[in-house]
Amino acid sequence: MNKSLKLLLLSASLFLSQLTYAICVQNNNSLNGLVGLDNSKGMVYATTTSSTNECSCRHVRFREQNTDTKMALSILLSAKVTNQKVRIDLLDEGDCDSAYRVYLH
């Protein structure tokens, strides 16, 4: 197989693995309550209100082992200050403390 075809296949498999990695996606989250550092280990907490509530979470926590918590906190604070809704991806559908991605809507 030539190098460009191998690279294309590797890129496609990495892309698909990222698409299927999220176990639960909760959309339309408003950040009306607390947002901030939850403990000395760098865990980030956010109170969420979602009109769709796909993951049944009223709060989420971002752990250092799951994501870059400083970046997550930055996005969450930006959303809170500007009243933007966010999408939050969780690694475990039954665990609201397994958040690892956050996107502004």
Q: Which pLDDT band holds residue 105 (cuts at 50, 70, 90)?
A: confident
Q: Which pLDDT band holds residue 1 (cuts at 50, 70, 90)?
A: low
Can you say whether the dihedral through the CA atoms of 73, 78, 82, 83 is positive or negative?
negative
**Is residue 2 predicted with pLDDT exceeding 90?**
no
**Is residue 63 predicted with pLDDT exceeding 70?**
yes
pLDDT computed for residue 13 by the predictor: 53
Q: Give residue for tokens 């979470």.
A: 57
pLDDT computed for residue 6 by the predictor: 63
pLDDT in tens, 8-28: 555 555 444 444 567 999 999
